[in-house]
Amino acid sequence: MNDDELAFIDEDLDIEGEAPVTAWKVIVADDEPNVHDVTKLALVDFRFDGRPLAFIHAHSAAAAFEAAENNPDAAVLLLDVVMESEHAGLELVRRIREELGNSTLRIVLRTGQPGAAPEVDVIARYDINDYKEKTELTAGKLSTLMYACLRGYRDIMTIERSKQGLERIIDASQRIFRLQSLEEFTGAVLDELGSLLQIHGHEPEDGIQALTATGMVGKLTVLAGTPHYEHLRGLPIEEALPPETAQRIDACHKAAYSAHFGDEYVGVFKARAGADKILYLRGYHPRSELDRQQLDIFARNVGVSFENIQLKEAIEDAQREIIYRLGGVVETRSKETANHVRRVAKISRLLARAAGMTEREALIFEYASPMHDIGKVGIPDAILNKPGKLTPEEWEIMKTHAYVGYDILKGSDHEILQTAAIIALEHHEKWDGEGYPFNKRGHEISLHGRITAIADVFDALASERCYKAAWPIDKVLQLFRDEQGKHFDPHLVDLTFESLDDIVAIRDEYRD
């Protein structure tokens, strides 16, 4: 292909008229130079939606294909049927639609030899938008044609942008819906919002700032914000923002509606349970009603997700409280205290993280740990609280609490209870195989069982009871040194020593 086949006025693009960046791109594909000249002359002053035309001139089908490939945002192709060959234009239509996958370009066939490509046959077989004989296209009719083509292109692109925006909202919402905690949620909302705004042409340098807030009417508190607002976390809205802005947010919140105020946006979601959610933007200039609508959709999805997380956390809090209380009831029967199970749970989580568990795994461990002695509900009081040494028969009954606890908890579909069942069964096993109920040794014992054994014994010794004083820490540590590799996993004992300050802090925080 030589330079004459694909001619440009500028170095990079053959664009005539003003403001090339915002112009409608029109590819003129014809092997007759005068057709290009006449087309430019007829449309030199043409404007649609206030935007001029930018012409890209191709003098062959091959050059036109290259122009379409390099300019996927071209709006119109004025295409001659007969160029290199009798049907070069028709083949070009097929290649643009199939090879480039471009279905938005409005293609108008222009022919000086109508017999070579009959109109009815061409319209039926090829994906074109209009068919004109060159003699028909006076200046007036060419302008009319261009209005029709550009309206069609504009509407298609509006639909496409809407589709892309909705897909982006769906993707962003799905990622947000997968989040498990409010801490993750607040930052993720702002990240996804930033990506969503860029879809609509808003770049970070536009200065858009955002924050999220939660609370009841008149008591909103900032949850998170972009860098400009990040330092406001935890402050009441009326202290964090200028009075007029806080008043607008409060008014929207009370009326339960989302609204735009110049370059500000307030998105409101009234929660059915828990606190309401507010999304505030400053510096946001929606470029169309579509932008406004999609932002409202995103804000509503954020609100739904926020409420789901609140409900989930409320359920988990209730579950955790029930587990602690059940564990406390069991410990009370054996003259322990409810805080014992809390300390064991916190120490277990600490050692689990030190041993390499993920934060989520360690959290599940913490929730499950209070149930480690649940099987004691099946032990008679006469044995459970016997002041003296148990007889061999009584000891065998006492040891069954590991089985009983496992039987109570096993078979659940919930991860917390599945973990609790393993802990209940194995926390009396010993590293050297001298524990019960199965005399497992070493790594045959689950990590949960090995950790709970340490947390349970440490707290039992280092904490005061109504029937005994707390052991001095030095004495407790000496016991662990003596039992390292016997009762306890040697590596976990090392981790216990390394984490001693944190473990003692847990003991002190949850004193009886």
Would you name the residues annotated as active-site residues?
A: 376
Measured in Å, how far apart are the chain's first and last C-alpha atoms?
Answer: 88
Instruction: Find the helix packing angle between 447-462 and 500-509, rounded to 10°.
Output: 60
* Amino acid (1-letter code) at residue 140: G
Taking the C-alpha atoms of residue 111 and residue 140, their distance in angstroms, rounded to an integer, is: 18
Residue 427 and residue 371 in contact, taking contact as beta carbons nearer than 8 Å: no
Residue 174 and residue 188 in contact, taking contact as beta carbons nearer than 8 Å: no
SS3 of residue 512 by DSSP: coil
Taking the C-alpha atoms of residue 357 and residue 349, their distance in angstroms, rounded to an integer, is: 9
Q: In what order do the strands lie in the sheet with 259-261?
A: 219-225, 209-216, 276-282, 264-269, 259-261
- DSSP string spanning 66-92? HHHHH-TT--EEEEES-SSSTTHHHHH
Kind and range of the H or E run holding 7: strand 6-7
Long-range contacts of 3-7 (CB under 8 A, 24+ apart): 4/59, 5/58, 5/59, 5/60, 5/62, 5/63, 6/57, 6/58, 6/59, 6/60, 6/63, 6/66, 6/67, 7/57, 7/59
Phi and psi dihedrals of 51, rounded to 5?
-115, 140
Q: Helix/strand/coil (H, E, C) string of 91-114?
A: HHHHHHHHCCCCCCCEEEEEECCH
Per-residue DSSP letter, 432:
T
Taking the C-alpha atoms of residue 315 and residue 328, their distance in angstroms, rounded to an integer, is: 20
Q: Respond yes or no on whether the N-terminal peptide bond of residue 437 is cis (omega within 30° of 0).
A: yes
